[in-house]
């Protein structure tokens, strides 16, 4: 079985063989009709809610729209996991009683409004407008470039490229050299369109990781992780736009290796510290023994000095006795 991995790893042109590119393209294609639905729903909720807010009905509509945005966020989370290579879990910031409805309608609505995930999901749906707006650029480029790629089998034909001053811009491709030139321009256009697709999808992926995940924003490294391979084998993608999950796994292994190395260094430091402590204890014991020897030497010297004084006193007494005896005889 022929693998497309080497082709997908090529710079610039590898994007054509990368399966993730076409999942990103599908994500942008789906974003266009979804935004039409989202904008209609939001417009209705805002207009109806604000107009009828004076009779409290509009407030109920606004609250229902805010709570309903959680369902939209769940759909966007599933799309991001399926097409953008994320691994987002549903947020778990609602009380169990609110999820099963046993807390009552008022308490449930309060819990939904107090949950941070509700407002993050609403923020993602609002920002999705800009993703959809940017998606028209690569889609328009691809729509214009793909017919040019097939120029050698279609000429003579006249592709249109919009209008200028009310007149259509038409290129009449009538000869083989013109068809070859059209094919080259079409290939360049396809490459530009696919790279733009990956770039916009990468921005949408960062938005999804930041706003739709469980404790979104706390795992900032998730936003920097690469997309998972669509082919199941983790094909390498274009640098800076599509990153393989294998690279993230390798980074995790390297990080684990560094942590283990740090633990080993810490163990060596602990061993060195213990040896230093043992050396200090031995030094203190040696100093104690030296002090004891000095004390014993001092005691011996003191005893010798006392003995010397005692001997001197005895000699003096004997001399006095000898001097007194002749004096007694003369008497």
Q: What is the pLDDT of residues 60-85, one digit of tens each?
A: 888 888 888 889 999 999 999 999 99
Angstrom distance (rounded) from CA 173 to CA 165 = 22
What whole-number distance in Å separates Cα of residue 282 and Cα of residue 285? Answer: 5
- Give per-residue pLDDT as tens, 264-314: 555 545 666 667 777 777 777 777 777 777 777 777 766 665 554 544 454
Is the pLDDT at 227 greater than 80? The verdict is no
User: Which residue matches tokens 């900032």?
Assistant: 220
Per-residue pLDDT, 5: 61
Smallest CA-to-CA distance from 206 within 25, 73, 85, 74 is with 85
Which 8-state DSSP code applies to residue 175? S
């Amino acid at each position: 079985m022929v693998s497309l991995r080497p082709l997908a790893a090529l710079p610039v042109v590898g994007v054509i063989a990368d399966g993730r590119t076409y999942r990103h393209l599908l994500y942008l294609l789906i974003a266009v009709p979804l935004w039409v639905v989202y904008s209609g729903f939001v417009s209705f909720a805002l207009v109806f809610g604000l107009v009828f807010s004076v009779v409290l009905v509009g407030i109920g509509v606004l609250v229902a729209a805010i709570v309903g945005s959680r369902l939209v966020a769940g759909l966007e989370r599933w799309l991001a996991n399926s097409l953008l290579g994320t691994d987002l879990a549903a947020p778990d910031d609602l009380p169990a009683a609110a999820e099963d409805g046993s807390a009552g309608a008022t308490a449930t609505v309060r819990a939904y409004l107090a949950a941070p995930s509700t407002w993050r999901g609403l923020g993602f749906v609002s920002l999705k407008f800009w993703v959809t707006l940017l998606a028209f650029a690569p889609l328009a480029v691809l729509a214009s470039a793909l017919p040019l790629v097939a120029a050698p089998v279609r000429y003579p034909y006249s592709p249109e490229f919009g209008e200028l001053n009310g007149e259509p811009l038409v290129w009449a491709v009538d000869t083989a050299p013109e068809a070859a030139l059209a094919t080259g321009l079409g290939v360049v256009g396809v490459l530009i369109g696919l790279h733009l697709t990956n770039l916009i999808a990468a921005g949408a992926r960062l938005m999804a990781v930041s706003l739709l995940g469980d404790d979104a924003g706390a795992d900032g490294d998730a936003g920097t992780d690469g997309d998972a391979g669509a082919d199941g084998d983790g094909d390498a993608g274009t640098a800076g736009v599509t990153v393989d999950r294998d690279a993230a796994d390798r980074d995790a292994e390297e990080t684990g290796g560094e942590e283990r190395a740090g633990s080993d260094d810490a163990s060596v430091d602990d061993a060195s510290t213990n040896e230093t402590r043992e050396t200090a204890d031995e030094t203190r014991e040696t100093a104690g023994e030296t002090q004891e020897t000095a004390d014993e030497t001092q005691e011996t010297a003191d005893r010798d000095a006392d003995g010397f004084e005692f001997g001197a006193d005895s000699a003096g007494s004997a001399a006095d006795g000898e001097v007194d005896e002749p004096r007694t005889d003369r008497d």
